[in-house]
Amino acid sequence: MDKLSNMIDRFLLTRTWYLIQWLFIMTVAFDLIFYSYGFWTKLFYLAGLAAGFSNIKEWHKKHIYSVKRKH
């Protein structure tokens, strides 16, 4: 069980996982943009996407830092 949790932790810290999250967010955002109407709506979603992406980057940095400190 310990070995499995270590493997999962290691996977969650890889770039692959980060890329999967990013692609998922981009897909959802583009779905919202292309199915919504109006310039301001699109602008609103793009602003939300930019804010969300910077938050995830910050969270990712903090997460890696805290995991490195624990071990």
The per-residue pLDDT for range 4-35, each reduced to its tens digit, is 777 777 777 777 777 778 888 887 877 776 76
Domain count, the chain: 1
Residue span of the structural domain in which 44 resides: 2-70
pLDDT at 66 over 80: no
Over residues 36-46, the mean pLDDT reads 70
- Quote the pLDDT of residue 64: 66
Report phi then psi at 20, rounded to 5.
-60, -45
Q: Are 1 and 7 in contact (CB under 8 A)?
A: no
